Amino acid sequence: MTATTTERQAMTARELARIVLAGEQLFILDVRNESDYREWRIEGKSIDTVNIPYFDLLDGVDEALVHIPAGRRVLVVCAKEGASMFVAEQLVAAGLKSVFYLEGGMKAWSEHLEPVRIGDLAGGGSLYQFVRLGKGCLSYMAISRGEAAVIDATRMTQVFEQFAAEQGVRIKHALDTHLHADHISGGRKLAERTGATYWLPPKDADEVTFAYEKLEEGRDIAVGETTIRIQPVYSPGHTIGSTSFIVDDRYLLTGDILFIESIGRPDLAGKAEDWVGDLRETLYHRYKALAQELNVLPAHFGKTSELGEEGRVMATLGELYRSNPGLNIREEAAFRREVTGHLPPQPHAYREIRQTNMGLLAPGDEEQREMEIGPNRCAVHDR
């Protein structure tokens, strides 16, 4: 991607992701409607952004030029691509250099997954985190001796298949920590495409229409010479079946129970008052009994401030007990009030997403994209 150009150029979601993760400077002109921009936008440590709707720029881009700092690389963003191409062309005609439009628009941004290496596993294996910057979703792949397990896969299963092929490994297991409500799981589809075993907590699977392997306490899942140990860390609260994974005695995959700056919400099945007690029991007792040196790897993040070195979303359990507000509410009554009284809006189309993940609905590709548009809202304190 050329740094300076006198013509508009396309910037791919992958290129944008690497700019965000590297903390590079970028000025974004978002030409979507104000309501869409307020709901969900591209963010990053060194990213500045302004929203001027496309229809306000049809007769000229003077209003935008006032906001754009001299000499900055500029990215124009819209929902799908077309409007940003037009505006980028007008900016170049007005004399700006280094002007780009986001190829595929926010739809492409929502679907991009960026693999980040977390660390080594025993026996020569590796653990990778797949960061979905446009949605805040996090998936994982544990690799050891020619085999792989994918945890909390998104519906873009080709990303995991391609990565496994590049690593020369076969996907043997696909696992979901719980029945997701904010995005469509790719776990079952990935298992079907690769011949892997699909695992799901049985307490979340009362209404599913497909076969699965029961993800229960005490069952060890072997991946090459690494073992993903499903210890007695049944961790309900976000859902009644939520189950955490301990990988290689070093990593705690918490699903949507515990995040870096917040905790999971208990209301996406309409049972907040029933499940808030389970959530507290998991966070304040079950997790408290685990080794505090475990590296917490959640299934989501809510803010770019949770992105660490090279984009990793990770912190030790001990660090989170010191810094995470959701882990420092002493009185149970206060915890209940805080959790049930400060819930963000529910995810877009979450009922339909849950039904899709149960196998009760079978939406097409475009409908699935529309169902997932917007930020994740799995945490109590998000946004």
Residue 258 β-bridge partners: 263
Confidence tier at 1 by pLDDT (50, 70, 90): low
Give φ, ψ of 382 to 5 degrees.
-60, 130
Whole-angstrom Cα distance, residue 125 to residue 262?
A: 30
Report whether 339 contacts 279 (CB < 8 A): yes
CATH 3.40.50.2000 fits 113-372, yes or no: no
Closest alpha carbon to 321 in 297, 298, 287: 287
Q: Is the pLDDT of residue 28 over 80?
A: yes
pTM metric for this prediction: 0.92
The Cα diameter of the chain in Å comes to: 65
What band does 383 get if pLDDT is binned at 50, 70 and 90?
A: very low
Instruction: Report in angstroms the alpha-carbon separations of 267 from 30, 56, 58, 133.
Output: 32, 40, 43, 24
Please report, for the chain, the start and end positions of each structural domain, with discontinuous segments joined by +.
9-38+45-109, 113-372
> HSE-up of 147 (CA within 13 Å, CB side)?
16
**332: Cβ contacts below 8 Å, ≥ 6 apart:** 280
Residue 381 pLDDT level (bands cut at 50, 70, 90): low
CB 118 within 8 A of CB 310: no
HSE of 189, CA atoms in CB hemisphere, 13 A: 18
Three-class SS of the chain: CCCCCCCCEEECHHHHHHHHHHCCCEEEEECCCHHHHHHCCCCCCCEEEEECCHHHCCCCCHHHHHHCCCCCCEEEECCCCHHHHHHHHHHHHCCCCCEEEECCHHHHHHHCCEEEEEEEEHHHEEEEEEEECCCCEEEEEEEECCEEEEECCECCHHHHHHHHHHHCCEEEEEECCCCCCCCCECHHHHHHHHCCEEEECHHHCCCCCCCCEECCCCCEEEECCEEEECCCCECCCCCCCCECEEECCCEEEEECCECCCCEECCCCCCCHHHHHHHHHHHHHHHHHHCCCCCEEEECECCCHHHCCHHHCCCEEHHHHHHHCHHHCCCCHHHHHHHHHHCCCCCCCCHHHHHHHHHCCCCCCHHHHHHHHCCCCCCECCCC
Two structure tokens written together for 341: 């009284």
Instruction: Specify the pairing of strand 226-229 against strand 213-214.
Output: unpaired
> If you average pLDDT over every residue of the chain, what do you get?
91
Q: Which two tokens stand for residue 56?
A: 């306000």
Lowest mean pLDDT among 242-256, 325-339, 342-356: 342-356
Q: What is the pLDDT of residue 237?
A: 86
pLDDT for residue 63 is more than 90: yes
Q: Measured on CA atoms in the order 351, 195, 156, 129, is the torsion positive or negative?
A: positive
Q: Could you give the C-alpha distances from 334 to 90, 327, 339, 340, in angstroms and in order?
A: 54, 12, 9, 10
d(CA 22, CA 17): 8
Q: pLDDT tens, 258-313?
A: 999 999 988 766 667 778 999 999 999 999 999 999 999 999 998 888 999 888 99
Residue 291: CA atoms inside 13 Å, Cβ hemisphere, count?
11
Q: What is d(CA 252, CA 295) in angstroms, rounded to the nearest whole number?
A: 6
Q: Among candidates 125, 120, 79, which has minimal Cα distance to 102?
A: 79
Q: Could you tell me the two tokens for 220?
A: 């060890």
* CA–CA dist 130, 117 (Å, integer): 9
Q: pLDDT tens-digit profile of 162-192? A: 999 999 999 999 999 999 988 999 999 999 9
137 is catalytic: no
Q: What is the pLDDT of residue 2?
A: 45
Query: Confidence band (pLDDT; 50, 70, 90) for 62?
Result: very high
Question: How many angstroms separate the first and last alpha carbons of the chain?
Answer: 33
Q: Compute CA 36 distance to the chain's CA centroid, rounded to the nearest angstrom.
A: 19
**Catalytic residue from among 78, 143, 184, 315:** 78
- Domain 9-38+45-109 falls in which CATH fold? Oxidized Rhodanese; domain 1 (3.40.250)
